[in-house]
Amino acid sequence: MSLNHSDYVKDIVFAFKKLPGIGERSARRLAFYLLSQNESVAYDLADAIKNAKQNIKLCKNCFNLSSDDVCHICNNPSRNHKQLCVVENPEIIYVFEKSGNYNGYYHVLHGLINPLEGIAPSDLRLRELTGRVETGGFEEIILALNPNSNGEATSIYIQKILSPYNVRMSILARGIPIGSDLEYVDKDTLSEAINYRKKFD
């Protein structure tokens, strides 16, 4: 039995609903928009996604998204080699870089400890973080994790595993509202948070 046109639309809506922050209404609006445009709009989008998935990988140092084995940030010798900023996902790096107030290196965990969703420390890039701190000569580790329960739990765990090393640990200043996500914080607020960060106790 062949699909009718409404089944095709439902498939597109279902696909869009898998994206974060996209509900039924937004997914339906996107689906009908794509279908109402010239076919090149949809094909260009599909090609862009396909090309990105085929060519972008994780930097072998920091686990940021990169088209090369080592990302352009890790490859930049002018960065502050004494600072390492720990973030949840690559999107946060984009936000920091846009703010222009941080010039150190990054480490991407690709998640936060979340027992309710079955995300354990072993699921994150914590072993690699320990290895970098042990051999990288960093003097300060900045924990730039979301100010929520999962972010706090992850920060405490990181403090514990890095306690054997002689490295200063700091967190962002609390100008960022509790429970907010860093990717939605404006660049001025983020700049204040990084500039007035405090020691993590």
Write out pLDDT tens, residues 92-115: 999 899 888 899 999 999 999 999
The pTM for the full model equals 0.78
Give how far the C-alpha of residue 80 lies from the chain's centroid of Cα atoms, to the nearest Å: 21
Is the per-residue pLDDT at 8 higher than 70? yes
Count CB atoms within 10 A of the CB of residue 25: 9
Kindly indicate the confidence band of residue 147, based on its pLDDT and cuts at 50, 70 and 90.
confident
pLDDT of residue 148: 85
| pLDDT tens, position by position, 57-86 | 999 999 999 999 999 999 999 999 999 999
Residue count of the chain: 201
**Nearest residue to 150 via CA among 130, 173, 124:** 124
pLDDT reported for residue 121: 96
Mean of the pLDDT values across residues 23-44?
A: 94
Residue 66 CB partners (closer than 8 Å, separation 6+):
56, 57, 58, 59, 72
Structural domains of the chain, ranges and CATH numbers in brackets: 5-55 (1.10.8.420), 73-199 (3.40.1360.10)
pLDDT of residue 101: 85
Average pLDDT, the chain: 89
